[in-house]
Structure 1
Amino acid sequence: MAPPFGCNLCLMKAMAPKGITPGDIYSSIVPMVLLMRIGLVLVMVFPDMVMFLPRVFL
């Protein structure tokens, strides 16, 4: 589910102003990672959410 965050974080650090630390950049991805984990748990707990449309069209 997760994109390759390492490359993106290095690019963000290179483009960020001088006052932005790597810690600031790493802490900015926490909400995205949490949302992806919540989505993964929802898919694992309720697999019918994902399989509904394939069942309709097959």
Structure 2
Amino acid sequence: MRDLRAMADSAGRVNPLTDAIRNSYAAAFAVGGAEDYMPMLGTQISRINGVYIAPSTER
């Protein structure tokens, strides 16, 4: 994220992506998802929004 922010800053561009990522991690942490790995971030965000993702049973 630091590299992305540095590139946007050096180009004089707005970079909402790093703020959105940081806020998403903070939200997941706030609801007890701190022990989960990054791939679980979507699961934590969906849980915050009242959507529960179940594992697929199709193979």
Determine if the TM-score, normalized by the shorter chain, exceeds 0.5: no
Instruction: Name the structure, 1 or 2, with higher relative contact order (CA <8 Å, separation 6+).
Output: 1
Q: Which has the larger radius of gyration?
A: 1
Question: What range is the shorter-chain TM-score in?
Answer: 0.3 to 0.5
Q: Name the one with the larger helix percent.
A: 1
TM-score, normalised to structure 2's length?
A: 0.37
